[in-house]
A and B are shown apart, each in its own frame.
Chain A
Amino acid sequence: MTAAMLAEAWLAMGANRLRTLLTMLGMVIGVGAVILMLAIGQGTQRQVEASIASMGSNLFIVLSGSTTSGGLRMGSGATPTLTLTDAQAIEELPAVAAVAPSSPGTAQLVYGSNNWSTQVYGTTPAYLAVRDWKLAAGFPFTDSDLRSATRVALLGKTVVDNLFGGEDPVGKTIRIKNSPYVVLGTLAPKGQSLDGRDQDDTVIIPVTTAQRKLFGTQFAGTVRFIMVQAESGEAMPAVEKSMNELLRQRHRIREGTDNDFSVRNLTALANTAAETAQVMSLMLGAIASISLLVGGIGIMNIMLVSVTERTREIGIRMAIGARGEDILLQFLLEAIIISVIGCLIGVGLGVGGALLVSTLSGMAVVITVTSILLAFAVAAAIGIFFGWYPARKAAAMKPIDALRYQ
């Protein structure tokens, strides 16, 4: 019975091929758009999540600066007001897991005939723990390197690639601003940061070396920022509060005066970014869904026309014994076939489009089985929903009226 109905529906669709194809096109575009947009949205979301995971967890960054000098308020980090001893004091606070003071700067690196300009971070061994950063090869520097301000370095993957090509950098000596540094190890790749920077384009050296030998500074012992890791997410508000109190006290800031430092909750910022990405993803999906809806309305429109055109045929079928539900099923099947075939083609185009976008623009795309199954379910639902009314209309006709229809 249903097989015969399917064959009949197929025949009816073939009778007006161009119209069937155009109706299908609405579904194709709708489903294609949904698949593509979901792929892009989820890709972005996944990328943001990866960046967040690569950042380290439960993180604060304490920036120095924001002082007022002669009526001018300087931006964060403009004047180095934080010191290594500030960092040590923060480490003593309850619920603080690790603290890594940092002095970044840009420097030219040379190895053999290659040179590369990159961000050099002077920091402490704790930095790797705070950022949850593993070594790909070699060893980290130690507290004794810190005390004696030795010229040692850990290289990020991008730096290794640009300076060494295929060579193993561990144990080699590179020159940073013309001074020799021994490469102790290389860092595992981390990929992009939330703001799109390449986190692997970096060199890490002891903070003391950076202060005394590489960048120099007019304020001895100061750092640009301190990264602080709390023991848990729940402890973060308490840590933030006690850090603020501690630093105000240490910097002798009077009641009612602005801080000469600022504390930022990186984890909260990251969560906001993740939420933004999620909202973006949902919005893309929602916009694409509108085209799917339009495709569905297209099906309904054509089915209504088709029911009117075929009124006489409906009458003939009823005269020879078709029940209302047979007629209903016939038109419903047509609508479902159109939407499901349209959906199949749409999935193909959407997936192809997503792959094209990712190869052309390097954008991350994620195509999940769930999104494809979802598209199918929605297409079938649209076929049933928008096919229902016209099919119902056909089935409800009185045999004699349908037969007499001119």
Chain B
Amino acid sequence: MAELADAVIRIEHLFKEYATDAGPVPVLKDVSVSVASGEFVAVMGPSGSGKSTFMNILGCLDVATTGRYLLDGKDAGTLDGDELARLRNQVIGFVFQGFNLLPRATLEDNVALPLIYRGTPRGERLARAHEMLDKVGLGAYYRSRPNQISGGQQQRVAIARALVTRPRLILADEPTGNLDTATGREIMALFTELNRQDGITIVLVTHEPDIAGHAQRLVRLADGRVIYDGLVEHAQAHHLEKTL
């Protein structure tokens, strides 16, 4: 699908097994996907199909058992812990289902946190955090704490935190999973804007077709395999095909 030369993500024949007491459990079985710069990809699939496992490998939080993963042209399999940390800090922005904010830190400190790990001075850190909080519509909440705002607002803070390092790629694992439909739609509007206006590549996991409808492209996983990879508009027919 993606133009190979311009691929932010290139995955070839990826396998992932988890070691359990009952022996190795294969979760991803020969997954090959490429994502070009500027794409907005939705990942769908039944529960347990390996979506989160896939995202964690994309995010360099976990490593594949076999297969090649090139992120921004670099082979993640050959990088050490510090280099992976640098990629997570500079290339990727994460948004989680559970928000994952630091509960004791203020919103501005939460958003500024990634910048600490690249040695940005405090003044600049805060200035950029404020800029991002303004962007997600939380300009009035710099010094609030996560427990003082709503879930939708917390997810906006998480998005601001993901954006503060100006990443090329945002990975979001069920970002609207904990939110009601209306709030979910607002968050999706934000993602769409980031993709369209700022050209940020987005890979987003969701269960809801409605949410996936914001993306251009859909990757559907089932039992660790890619069973569909194409435009979202065509997927409806594909889905229909499957249920028939």
Contact = CB atoms under 8 A, between A and B. Distances in A.
A319 interface: yes
Interface residues of B, number: 28
B102 interface: yes
A18 interface: no
A335 interface: no
B69 to A, nearest CB: 14
Interface string B69-92: 000000000000110011011100
A395 B104 CA distance: 21
Contacts of A120: none
Contact of B122 (A3, A15, A326): A3
**What size tier do the contact residues of chain A reach?**
20 to 34
A319 B113 CA distance: 11
Contacts of B117: 317, 320-323, 326
B191 interface: no
A316 interface: yes
B102 A321 contact: no
Contact of A321 (B89, B104, B105): B89
Secondary structure call for the A interface: helix
Contacts, number: 67
A285 B60 CA distance: 52
Nearest to A4: B116
Interface string B116-135: 11110010010000000000
B62 interface: yes
A398 B161 CA distance: 21
A321 B90 contact: yes
Interface in B137-193: 161, 165
A15 B60 CA distance: 31
Contacts of B161: 320
Max count, chain B CB within 10 A of own CB: residue among A1, A317, A321, A399: A321
Nearest to B106: A11
A324 interface: yes
A303 B116 CA distance: 22
A373 interface: no
B61 A400 contact: yes
B100 interface: yes
A312 B98 CA distance: 12
